[in-house]
């Protein structure tokens, strides 16, 4: 089965290139393709090959978006066993080709054994740690941009074009001034917690460097990024491990605060309806409907 599916070279090329000509007529697929590249997910390729062959193009895109959400929860945040994911996607591909899964909802049903529900996702998100160098930098920018875009009244941020830079509240190279707030023995475990990371304008980020929190806080108060401004509200005097923990818990709650994708899976959007790509990314669940 896998050999037969992998012979479809053109769709494979398209699934590894968000700018491929296939997506000229399916621009809504580009975001999910770009995300799968960012997440470095390959296990879903057989299922997506099968869906391309058997589903309508609209339903293919819907499944592609579900796979992106599922992969983010399972792989990026959960760090779970990739072999189990490979088995589930292989079974999904088989079900699609044999006509046992004819809609995105039915295809997702074949993945439920490895689905990550909201409770598990929020728990995993609340303890996530991401280094910010190399390829990981793009992933952290993606996370911060999507979370920022979830704030009420915010605008959608494109992590690839937004000029914001990654700020480490507790700096990567803390000065002695930080020792009274966070013991040096705890620095390594705190610096790359997601709760310690934020978007900040590049010039401001360079200016404040590794200064003490009081000096940084003034810049956070006037930042154009809502989540960054909240840091000043959360910690009016100092930045401690407790503040990092509390902020990350808040980010985890923000990451699951939305209606779930399953409500839309079998339906065609009404004419004229506009959906922002962000509302379906990162924070979504491909699982059951929320009451």
Task: Mark the ranges of the chain whose per-residue pLDDT is less than 70.
Answer: 1-7, 258-291
162 and 111 inside one domain = no
How far is residue 193 CA from its own chain's centroid? 15
State phi, psi for 10 to the nearest 5 degrees: -70, -45
Dump pLDDT digits (tens) for 78-134: 999 888 999 999 999 999 999 999 999 999 999 998 999 999 999 999 999 999 999
For 253, residues 6+ apart whose C-beta sits below 8 A from its C-beta are 122
* Same-domain status, 107 and 138: no
User: Terminal CA-to-CA distance of the chain, rounded, Å?
Assistant: 39
Assess if residue 169 is contained within a domain.
yes
* Structural domain contains residue 222: yes
Same-domain pairing of 234 and 136: yes
Q: Do residues 190 and 101 both lie within one domain?
A: no
What pLDDT, on the 0 to 100 scale, is given for residue 281? 43
**Residue 8: predicted pLDDT:** 76
Q: Is there a single domain that holds both residue 136 and residue 202?
A: yes
Say yes or no: 110 and 132 in one domain.
no
**pLDDT at residue 279, rounded to an integer:** 37
Cα separation, 13 vs 239, whole angstroms: 47
Q: Residue 103: exposed, middle, or buried by beta-carbon count in 10 A (0-12, 13-18, 19+)?
A: middle
The total number of structural domains that make up the chain: 2
Domain identity same for 134 and 238: yes
Same domain, yes or no: 39 and 64: yes
User: How confident is the model at residue 213, as a pLDDT?
Assistant: 97
Residues 21 and 85 in one domain: yes
Three-state DSSP class for residue 199: strand
Same-domain pairing of 91 and 30: yes
Domain that holds residue 243: 125-256
């Amino acid at each position: 089965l896998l050999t037969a599916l992998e012979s479809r070279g053109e769709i494979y090329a398209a699934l590894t290139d968000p700018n491929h000509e296939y997506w000229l007529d399916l621009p809504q697929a580009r975001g999910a393709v770009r995300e799968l590249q960012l997440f470095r997910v390959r296990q879903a390729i057989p299922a997506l090959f099968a869906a391309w062959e058997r589903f309508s193009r609209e339903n293919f895109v819907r499944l592609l978006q579900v796979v992106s959400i599922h992969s983010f929860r399972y792989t990026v945040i959960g760090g779970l066993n990739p072999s189990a994911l490979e088995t589930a996607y292989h079974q999904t591909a088989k079900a699609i080709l044999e006509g046992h899964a004819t809609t995105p909802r039915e295809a997702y049903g074949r993945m439920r054994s490895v689905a990550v529900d909201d409770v598990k996702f929020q728990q995993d998100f609340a303890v996530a740690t991401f280094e910010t160098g190399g390829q990981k930098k793009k992933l952290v920018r993606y996370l911060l941009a999507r979370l920022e875009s979830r704030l009420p009244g915010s605008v959608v941020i494109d992590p690839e074009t937004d000029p914001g830079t990654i700020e480490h509240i507790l700096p990567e190279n803390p000065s002695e001034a930080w020792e009274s707030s966070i013991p040096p023995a705890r620095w390594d475990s705190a610096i790359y917690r997601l709760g310690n990371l934020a978007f900040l304008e590049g010039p401001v980020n360079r200016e404040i460097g590794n200064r003490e929190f009081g000096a940084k806080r003034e810049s956070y108060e006037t930042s154009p990024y809502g989540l960054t401004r909240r840091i000043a509200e959360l910690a009016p005097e100092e930045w401690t491990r407790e503040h990092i923990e509390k902020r990350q818990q808040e980010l985890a709650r923000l990451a699951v605060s939305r209606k779930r994708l399953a409500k839309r899976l079998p339906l065609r959007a009404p004419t004229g309806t506009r959906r922002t790509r962000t509302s379906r990314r990162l924070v979504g669940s491909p699982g059951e409907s929320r009451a």
